[in-house]
Amino acid sequence: MNTIDKNNAMNGKSGRIAGVTRLVAAGALALSLAVSAAPPAGSGPGDGPGRHGGKKGAELGMLSPRMLAELKLTPDQEKRLKDEQADFKKKKTGLRDEKVKLETELKALFSAYPVNNAEIMKTGEKVADVDRRITLLRIESMSRLLSGLTPEQHKKFQELKAKWKEKHKGWKDGGKDKKNWRKDRKDKQDGSAD
Q: Does the pLDDT value for residue 1 go beyond 70?
A: no
> Which of the residue ranges 21-25, 62-66, 152-156 would you say has the lowest mean pLDDT?
21-25
pLDDT tens track for 149-158: 999 999 998 9
Break the chain into its structural domains and give their ranges.
1-37, 43-172
Q: What is the CATH number that goes with domain 43-172?
A: 1.20.120
Per DSSP, the three-state class of 118 is: helix
DSSP code, position 148: T
Q: Does the structure show a pLDDT above 60 at 174?
A: no
Indicate whether 107 pLDDT > 90.
Answer: yes
Q: Give me the pLDDT at residue 33, please.
A: 43
pLDDT at 185: 65
**CB proximity list for 9: less than 8 A, separation 6 or greater:** 1
pTM of the model: 0.56
